[in-house]
A and B are shown apart, each in its own frame.
Chain A
Amino acid sequence: MGIFATLALGCSSSATGTTSRRDAYALATCSDTVSCCIQRNPGVPEACGLTASEAALYMAGVKTAMDEAAKEEEAPVVWDDAHNADLPEWRRECIRFYGDCKTEPGWTGPCYECLRRCEAQEEWPVSMCKPGRKTRRK
């Protein structure tokens, strides 16, 4: 009987904010440090060491799937990531999990950091980013 007795999860139930799937997708799929920085700091190009015009020029040359993601938002039932078809399946799954982390209510943890760790270690770090509880019962 060496099985470790389980303890009730004590995770907090509050979400850190709900982000749209489009935003979650944009952050998950930005292609390099600069484009990620620009997308994470909309309207604040100086946060990324750029002027506004430099940021606009930069993003014009970066292929994101924002438009496709915007269409997805109109039809939210399916997470369509066909545009990631060139990625290995496990990486696509990491991105899907990131989308769940960012958009489903109650998740706790740094979703973006967990995505990067998922991509690095081929495993979503559930102990860092996990779904919370809608209700806590005694």
Chain B
Amino acid sequence: MDDSPDWDPVRALAHSVLNQGIPLELTDDVRSLLRRTAREVAICDADTALQTEAGATELLREAMRRIKEGSWRLMRALHRMYQHKRAGDFDSARQEMRDVLAEEVVPFYRDVAAGQLEDLDDEP
């Protein structure tokens, strides 16, 4: 089973609200989406933010920032990890994933990094 988060709906919402300037309407569906996304990016206390449109918009902005920054952090670290592995430097490869884990808060990205680190247990 693949438990990767589906961030397409929240991306679409962010595009309309943050890029196109369309006001956020706090419908039940939007609240539900933002509540779920908040969990997925480790934002606590989403209910307080969801009491106002301004708060919800800030939550949306912060969620998108975490999704995007986490992606770049992880992908860059993976790319460097592969380079270290090809060079036979497994300590440096492990350190790339440890650095991600030291900084990353999004559980999905952390899981990917932790899995790669665990796989490196089999290497010298």
Q: Does A9 interact with chain B (Cβ within 8 Å)? A: yes
Q: Does B23 interact with chain A (Cβ within 8 Å)? A: no
How many A-B contacts at CB < 8 Å in the complex?
A: 94
**CA gap between A6 and B119 in the complex, in Å:** 18
**CA gap between A121 and B119 in the complex, in Å:** 30
The contact of B111 among A1, A7, A96, A121, by CB within 8 Å, is: A7
Report A-chain residues with C-beta under 8 Å of the C-beta of B74: 126
The contact of B108 among A127, A134, A135, by CB within 8 Å, is: A127
User: Smallest distance from the beta carbon of A89 to chain B beta carbons, Å?
Assistant: 11
Contact B39 A10 (CB under 8 A): no
Chain A interface SS verdict (over half): loop
Interface centre among B2, B6, B43, B83, by most chain A C-beta atoms within 10 angstroms, is B2
**CA gap between A130 and B108 in the complex, in Å:** 11
Contact A127 B44 (CB under 8 A): no
The contact of A127 among B6, B68, B82, B110, by CB within 8 Å, is: B6
**CA gap between A8 and B40 in the complex, in Å:** 14
The contact of A10 among B3, B42, B76, B112, by CB within 8 Å, is: B3
Q: Does A124 interact with chain B (Cβ within 8 Å)? A: yes
Report A-chain residues with C-beta under 8 Å of the C-beta of B55: none
B52-83: CB near A (< 8 Å → 1, else 0) gives 00000000000000011011101110110011
User: Smallest distance from the beta carbon of A92 to chain B beta carbons, Å?
Assistant: 11
Q: Does A128 interact with chain B (Cβ within 8 Å)? A: yes
**CA gap between A128 and B5 in the complex, in Å:** 9
Q: Which residue of B lies closest to A78 (CB)?
A: B83
Contact B72 A123 (CB under 8 A): yes
Q: Does B116 interact with chain A (Cβ within 8 Å)? A: yes
**CA gap between A97 and B71 in the complex, in Å:** 11
The contact of B122 among A93, A130, A135, by CB within 8 Å, is: A135
Using a CB–CB distance below 8 Å, which chain A residues touch chain B?
1-12, 76-79, 93, 96-97, 100, 104, 108, 121-128, 130-131, 133-135, 137
Using a CB–CB distance below 8 Å, which chain B residues touch chain A?
1-7, 11, 39-40, 42-46, 67-68, 70-72, 74-76, 78-79, 82-83, 86-87, 105, 107-112, 115-116, 118-119, 122
Cross-chain pairs A/B with CB under 8 angstroms, 7 sampled? A4-B39, A93-B79, A97-B79, A126-B70, A127-B7, A130-B4, A133-B115
Q: Which 3 A-B pairs have the closest CB atoms?
A: A2-B44, A127-B4, A6-B107
